[in-house]
Structure 1
Amino acid sequence: MALQWLTLVCAIWLQSINGTNSNFPSYSSQLKRILSISQLQLNNIASASDAGKLLGFISGIASAYLPLWLVLFIGSILGFISYGFQFLFLANQISSLSYWQIFLLNSVAGHSICWINTVCYIIAIRNFPLDRQIAVGLSTSYVGLSAKIYTSIVDFVAPNSPNERAKVFLLLNSVLPVLVCVVAAPLVRELNVGKSKKLEKGFFAMFMIVIVTGIFAVISSLGSVSSRFLPKYVIFIGLLVLLLLPLVIPLGEVIREKLEQKCLIRVHDHEGFASRENSGEKLDGESGVLGQIGAKLMLRKFEFWLYFFVYLFGATLGLVYLNNLGQIVESRGCSGTSSLVSLSSALGFFGRLLPCLFDHFFPKCNRGLSGAAAMGAMMTPMCGAFFILLSQRDISLYISTTIIGICTGAITELFGTKCFAVNHNILVSNIPIGSFLFGDVAALLYKRGRSSSGEGNCMGEKCYQTTFIIWGSLCVFGTLLAFILHARTKKLYSHNRLCIEGNLDT
């Protein structure tokens, strides 16, 4: 059991450094100046990372034929190359890269994330068959913490020069995933858990660690508050300790097993184990059948396309806002880009954690709530957040970023594990579509605002005012679609027979 927990700890570490694209807003403005590109071109570079995920099915196929450690290394090497070339370009170590070369490199970087992500999902689902939803939620929640981790390292080691900070971000994006993959590779494997049982105590301890981690991440991201009471080195060391803290659980299992052996404690409840084992096999069997017919059923279902657009106008719209956060902050004349990116990352971490927290602590309540209703509930405050941004007060920016960060993270985790291949490879296609569509609209409106002012960069409320109205209206429309979807799938959800329900199962 100790090794079982250790594989989950490795998945947590891998996910914590796998959101390399999430720190893009921290250096996007500097990249725009160095490349001398327009806001539209910058948005397309940000969207290229999402477009690379369209080929994520390749990593899924590879994981069926290659050992997991090799799948892991392929992903880390792709990221090492793509971000490495961009770092060398900014460091003037290679000749100038064209816009399309940067675009292609970012697509490869986005694709690299899929390989590491696939390994983490396989570990969580197969090594924790009776707690797979919770294991997946716990591990993937750490993706939301990536931007905070990278920003904290840069704040600690890099000077205040924007150009130097951009170089360090790209260097970390290139090297850090490789280093963590080297550490995790010997332990990344699918275990024969045999007579599995639910692990309530272990997950309770893990939740306590995760909650403390999230609280520390939020407090240390509060700009002037954190800088006054928490020096940069304290934040850096604190995050490092909290990332190592989950090791307490497998270590505790080792101690417990040693004590049991020493005291000759042997507890064999064959009947109970057999019952649990049969239950686990039944779930896996259902999952396998649904996974085989899921894609055809989903693409024929009107409910699937409702779900597709709900996600497009919800989580994807939130991701587009976070991708544009650097330019939004700059246009409003604020100087807290790094703190806002860190804050949105920490809150996204909490948001991703919410579904599995409810699944663990309130299982009966959670069974009665469909994923569509949960998505609608999460999108409702997002609608208000976009309209709050119309206010030019700095506090409105922090409030809206807080709401959008939490809600986007929560919606991202409302997939379910029964039809994972379908979830990951088909539904994720709306992210690059929305990223290009919504981001390009924002960039064109930004360009119009810049032209009217005659300045190099657009400054003032006109830059994103219309964009926020459009995004808020789309979010309202998506929320209505979510509740329509809930009404249409309420009966089907209760029976849990269609693959679309596997996607909506929280």
Structure 2
Amino acid sequence: MAYWNILKNRWTVLVACIWIECCAGASYSFSIYSAIIKNRFSYDQQQLDTISVFKDIGESVGIISGLLYDRFPPWLVLLLGAAQNFSGYAVIWLFLTRRLTAPALWEMCVLICVAINGQTYYNTASIVTCVNNFPANRGIVVGLMKGCLGLSSAILSRVWRLLFPGSDGSSFLLVAAIVPSAVASLLMPTVRKYEPVHNCRNDNSSTTLNLAMASAPVLVLALFLMGSAFRYGHSVQADQVEFAVAFFILAATLWVPWTAGRHETTSTSTSPSTPSTEPLMNHPEPEKSNKSVVMDYTNTNHSVWGALCSLDFFLVLFTSAIALGSGFVAVNNMSQVATSLGYEQQEITIFVTLISVCQFLGRFGGGAFSDYLLSKFGISRPLLTALAGLLLCCGYLLIAMAGTFPWFLYLGSIVIGFSFGANWSLNPTTVSELFGLCHFGTLYNVVLVGNPVVSYVLSVWVAGYLYDREAETQGRRGGECKGITCFSLTFVILAGVCLMA
């Protein structure tokens, strides 16, 4: 019976969701294939930024996945996401490889939105399920899930380079269509909600220890990918070895269900549509001491309408929209920034990997560290969100000065990746604490609705307009812009907007 528990417990769900999230973030690799889209269909920078905005819309508007999760089991949400993910990316790949007639701009916008939106189904099913399974450790769990999502673009780029060595970015879309859909489809039977376990006084400490064991291989993988990003002169053999090492590091997470899951008794949640809140209500209060501050939000479960009408929700929505919307603009344009400064494709890949890995560190660190600060010192997550936004401003200013100090581009990529990632884990955790878990799947996705609006304004009306204006001033062929003046003013504006929030 103990061995049966290995397959049917919350730790197996956690590891399955880690693997799903590690393959779910193809949206963060937009810079790998954005130049191919721009050149093959003769788009200018504003048109490319319009496509990137629809990418952000697909990534941020997950209300449908949230509503479905509140009414159906997680495996069905994952299945729908896999179908949408595969169909969207596959059709874009057919266009880029000229197997279909070149699409109109609006068609490309719709396709990229549909493809990326499949990612929200993965995120909702993974994050909300794990938060319900580990309510007392929601910061660590959200940080881990969001961290794996941020790390996924580095993983997918390794798979792409292994399967299609030396090819252009169009083949990456084929990887983005197949790999996430296949992983989610294979693992979806194991993803289910369980009643949280509270069977001994030391349960929370042992759970935290096991969560640390699950997080350790992912952290090692992040550091490994960061180190390999600076390796020049890629060869097929080296890529094969690198992928094998990364796979075995990630496979180490399978040890957690074996050690923690086989001795843990859990029961499946009886309602597929409503997250289990009774264990949260009856969770024994932690022992208070002089060294810790206990903050308890678990008794607050708002209705969707009640949450939407509150000032707290509006403030979370506003700050999230500014921080994440401006972050989208920065991440989406890093390839163009590097190109305008004269960097080669190899170095651009380094920036993409660097941002991806630092996003992982920010997402995981933002969740785990905020849990620690909240329990020990009572430091609220909104305060940490403000500090993450301030750090994001510094990253934008570093990029704005990269023309004068070239190493600022590397440093700025690290700072932006870390602070952008921290916002991704802090915001949903704040929502779950302020408004409860009953409608967390829906409210979590509603908070993200403002991101594409801010992203559109800053991408098209600011970044795209200033880039095209500078390119016209330089008079270069094909609307290409060279030099830091292409983006310096844009990043100064991003810093100002983020500072206001």
Alignment of 1:50-69 (within 5 A): 50-53=56-59, 55-69=61-75
Match 1:429 to one of 441, 446, 449 = 449
Contact 2:82/2:185, CA 8 A, preserved across alignment: no
Are 1:249 and 2:256 counterparts?
yes
Which letter maps to 1:190? K
Are 1:211 and 2:214 counterparts?
no
Contact 2:370/2:381, CA 8 A, preserved across alignment: no
Counterpart-to-counterpart distance in 2, 1:309 and 1:155: 39
Q: After superposition, what is the alpha-carbon deviation per residue over 1:293-339, rounded to whole angstroms, capped at 9, x for unaligned? A: 21222xxx2x5444444333323212210011111111111111111
Counterpart-to-counterpart distance in 1, 2:134 and 2:279: 16
Give how far 1:242 is off: 2.1
Q: After superposition, what is the alpha-carbon deviation per residue over 1:119-158, rounded to whole angstroms, capped at 9, x for unaligned? A: 1123202222332332222122101101101111222232
Give how far 1:217 is off: 2.1
Alignment of 1:190-339 (within 5 A): 190-193=193-196, 195=198, 197-198=203-204, 199-224=207-232, 231-253=238-260, 278-279=282-283, 286-289=299-302, 293-297=306-310, 301=311, 304-335=313-344, 336-339=347-350
Counterpart-to-counterpart distance in 2, 1:255 and 1:125: 21
Counterpart-to-counterpart distance in 1, 2:174 and 2:284: 43
Which letter maps to 1:57? I
Counterpart-to-counterpart distance in 1, 2:316 and 2:234: 42
With 246-255 and 138-147 compared, the bigger mean Cα shift is at 246-255
Counterpart-to-counterpart distance in 1, 2:102 and 2:93: 12
Secondary structure, counterpart of 2:136 in structure 1: coil
Counterpart-to-counterpart distance in 1, 2:393 and 2:154: 25
Percent identity over the alignment is 26
Which letter maps to 1:133? G
**Equivalence for 2:291:** none
Match 1:72 to one of 70, 73, 78 = 78
Contact 1:308/1:427, CA 8 A, preserved across alignment: yes
Which letter maps to 1:447? D
Which letter maps to 1:451? E
Give how far 1:227 is off: 5.8
Give how far 1:426 is off: 2.6
1:223–1:320 Cα change, 3 Å: farther
Counterpart-to-counterpart distance in 1, 2:64 and 2:357: 30
Contact 1:294/1:422, CA 8 A, preserved across alignment: no
Counterpart-to-counterpart distance in 1, 2:22 and 2:224: 15
Give how far 1:59 is off: 1.4
Are 1:474 and 2:497 counterparts?
yes
Counterpart-to-counterpart distance in 1, 2:299 and 2:10: 24
**Equivalence for 2:351:** 340
Give how far 1:277 is off: 7.9
**Equivalence for 1:398:** 410
1:134–1:391 Cα change, 3 Å: closer
Counterpart-to-counterpart distance in 2, 1:185 and 1:446: 44
Are 1:151 and 2:160 counterparts?
no
Are 1:375 and 2:385 counterparts?
yes
With 181-190 and 46-55 compared, the bigger mean Cα shift is at 46-55
Secondary structure, counterpart of 1:413 in structure 2: helix
Which letter maps to 2:456? F
Counterpart-to-counterpart distance in 1, 2:57 and 2:419: 23
Match 1:411 to one of 414, 423, 426 = 423
Which letter maps to 2:132? R
Contact 1:195/1:276, CA 8 A, preserved across alignment: no
**Equivalence for 1:357:** 368
Which letter maps to 1:446? Y
**TM-score normalized by the length of structure 2:** 0.84
Alignment of 1:132-151 (within 5 A): 132-151=138-157
1:194–1:251 Cα change, 3 Å: closer
Secondary structure, counterpart of 2:379 in structure 1: coil
Q: After superposition, what is the alpha-carbon deviation per residue over 1:34-81, rounded to whole angstroms, capped at 9, x for unaligned? A: 011111111111110222356422112222333321211111111111
With 394-403 and 279-288 compared, the bigger mean Cα shift is at 279-288
Give how far 1:190 is off: 1.6
Secondary structure, counterpart of 1:130 in structure 2: helix
Secondary structure, counterpart of 2:220 in structure 1: helix
Secondary structure, counterpart of 2:493 in structure 1: helix
Which residues of structure 1 form unaligned runs of 5+? Answer: 259-273, 479-506
Q: After superposition, what is the alpha-carbon deviation per residue over 1:361-390, rounded to whole angstroms, capped at 9, x for unaligned? A: 55533x522223212222223222222222
Counterpart-to-counterpart distance in 1, 2:385 and 2:133: 28
Larger helix proportion of the pair: 1
CA RMSD of aligned residues (A): 2.7
**Equivalence for 1:501:** none
Match 1:171 to one of 174, 177, 180 = 174
Contact 1:12/1:140, CA 8 A, preserved across alignment: no
Which residues of structure 2 form unaligned runs of 5+? Answer: 266-277, 287-295
Are 1:184 and 2:187 counterparts?
yes
Give how far 1:286 is off: 2.3
Secondary structure, counterpart of 1:31 in structure 2: helix
Counterpart-to-counterpart distance in 2, 1:461 and 1:121: 39
1:109–1:304 Cα change, 3 Å: same
Secondary structure, counterpart of 1:369 in structure 2: coil
With 388-397 and 448-457 compared, the bigger mean Cα shift is at 388-397
Counterpart-to-counterpart distance in 2, 1:246 and 1:48: 35
Contact 1:129/1:280, CA 8 A, preserved across alignment: no
